[in-house]
């Protein structure tokens, strides 16, 4: 009898068994992630780096509950149908344990509905529409970033201080833009009842005719403008607005413009004095942000963008939730996320039990053209917990959940 034959057979059998055992049983937690990488690279390339840094840190410390974390990403082509298709692929083919991601609000809502139908946990990192956690919220969906209501609520007190009566609004005509404008109008009207909205421009996402939009706004002669455009649409709007004098002696209040993803490309075209939400990475001196900045810079030789913070904090949230749940079973994970506290580069946040919305906040400040580069000045961090509807209001909005 050849003893080597039995050794080989045992080894072959072990190898076969390993191949047949599901990944999670081998000590791997699979995080599936869906996003619009090709269509929104300015935000999502840094976001992916933030996720990868978080995975690296988690695994360096032994993983979660003794299991290493593996990240599997898919592109959704900025299309709700494709987002659902690749989410299905991640669940059925890749056997993921949790589902995360999405950037655009319409794709986020599509994946949230998929999570509800399939009864799988979903943490939305970025989509900002209030329907993610409020009017359209469901038991299986949580959201990290402050939504449109929260960011509008942070900006409205600054808008009221301007004492401007005639306002115009401009926004991309899809779920996020519509949600942001609705929140801003309602909150500003409540705080300043005599306000008038004299013009509204809603170009398709990514297809702004900046000349026509700027001219229409100028013709309405508003005292101030609320802007929700971002990415390439924002750059075109700013360029045309500068050329035609739209911003001269006219204040602009703007969501997202202070994020380096969108502020950096403006360069010497950056307008002065816009009141914005954003991320002044160069001036945040808290210990938790310093630690994040140094780790990110060491790994990528670059400064973080807001996407970096979102991606990093999203993966850290998933890890904290799994650790608290002591597993990845959906009911346990949903329960664990209610009230879950997570350390992020912006400090400790929690996920509210009543609406599954995190308390992550945002920086509010003003834009400044500083030697041909756009920066945020006079900024303050606003704690998201202070800009959320009451539990009673949430209960009404989620009545169908």
Contact in structure between 362 and 375 (CB atoms under 8 Å): no
As a whole number of angstroms, the distance between CA 296 and CA 52 comes to 10
SS3 per residue for 354-377:
CCCEECCCEEEEEEEEECCEEEEE
Per-residue pLDDT, 299: 98
User: Could you tell me which of 378, 368, 364, 325 has the C-alpha nearest to residue 142?
Assistant: 325
Each residue's pLDDT tens digit in the chain (401 positions)?
Answer: 444 344 444 444 444 444 444 444 458 999 999 999 999 999 999 999 999 999 999 999 999 999 999 999 999 999 999 999 999 999 999 999 999 999 999 999 999 999 999 999 999 999 999 999 988 799 999 999 999 999 999 999 999 999 999 999 999 999 999 999 999 999 999 999 999 999 999 999 999 999 999 999 999 999 999 999 999 999 999 999 999 999 999 999 999 999 999 999 999 999 999 999 999 999 999 999 999 999 999 999 999 999 999 999 999 999 999 999 999 999 999 999 999 999 999 999 999 999 999 999 999 999 999 999 999 999 999 999 999 988 788 877 776 56
Per-residue pLDDT, 26: 59
Per-residue pLDDT, 5: 43
**Quick one: which H or E segment has residue 399?**
none
Residues paired with 168 in a beta bridge: 199, 225
Q: Which residues contact residue 365 at a Cβ distance below 8 angstroms, ignoring those fewer than 6 apart?
A: 258, 275, 276, 278, 280, 376, 377, 378, 379, 380
């Amino acid at each position: 009898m050849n003893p080597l034959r039995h050794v080989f057979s045992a080894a072959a059998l072990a190898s076969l068994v390993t191949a047949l055992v599901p990944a999670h049983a081998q000590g791997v937690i699979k995080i599936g992630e869906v996003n619009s990488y090709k269509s929104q690279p300015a935000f999502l390339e840094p976001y992916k780096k933030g996720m990868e840094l978080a995975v690296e840190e988690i695994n360096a410390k032994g993983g979660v509950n003794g299991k290493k974390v593996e990240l599997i990403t898919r592109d959704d082509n900025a299309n709700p149908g494709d987002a659902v298709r690749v989410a299905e692929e991640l669940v059925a083919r890749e056997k993921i344990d949790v589902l995360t991601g999405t950037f655009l609000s319409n794709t986020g809502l599509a994946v949230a509905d998929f999570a509800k139908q399939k009864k799988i946990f979903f943490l939305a990192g970025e989509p900002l529409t209030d329907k993610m956690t409020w009017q359209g919220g469901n038991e299986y969906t949580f959201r990290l970033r402050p939504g449109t209501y929260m960011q509008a609520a942070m900006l409205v007190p600054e808008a009221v201080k301007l004492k401007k009566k005639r306002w115009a609004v401009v926004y991309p005509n899809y779920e996020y833009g519509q949600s942001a404008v609705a929140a801003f109008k309602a909150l500003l009207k409540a705080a300043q009842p005599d306000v008038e909205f004299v013009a509204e421009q809603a170009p398709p996402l990514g297809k702004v005719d900046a000349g026509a939009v700027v001219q229409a706004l100028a013709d309405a002669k508003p005292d101030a403008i609320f802007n929700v455009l971002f990415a390439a649409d924002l750059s075109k709007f700013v360029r045309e607005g500068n050329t035609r004098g739209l911003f001269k002696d006219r204040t602009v209040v703007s969501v997202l413009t202070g994020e380096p993803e969108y502020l950096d490309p403006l360069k010497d075209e950056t307008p002065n004095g816009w009141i914005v939400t954003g991320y002044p990475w160069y001036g945040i001196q808290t210990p938790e942000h310093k630690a994040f900045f140094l780790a990110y810079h060491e790994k990528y030789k670059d400064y973080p963008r807001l996407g970096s913070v979102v991606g990093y904090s999203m993966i850290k949230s998933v890890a904290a939730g799994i650790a608290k749940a002591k597993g990845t079973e959906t009911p346990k994970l949903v329960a664990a996320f209610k009230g879950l506290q997570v350390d992020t580069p912006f400090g400790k946040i929690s996920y509210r039990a009543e609406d599954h919305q995190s308390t992550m906040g945002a920086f509010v400040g003003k834009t400044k053209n500083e030697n041909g580069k756009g920066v945020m000045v006079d900024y303050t961090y606003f704690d998201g917990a202070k800009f959320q509807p009451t539990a009673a209001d949430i209960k009404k909005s989620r009545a169908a959940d």
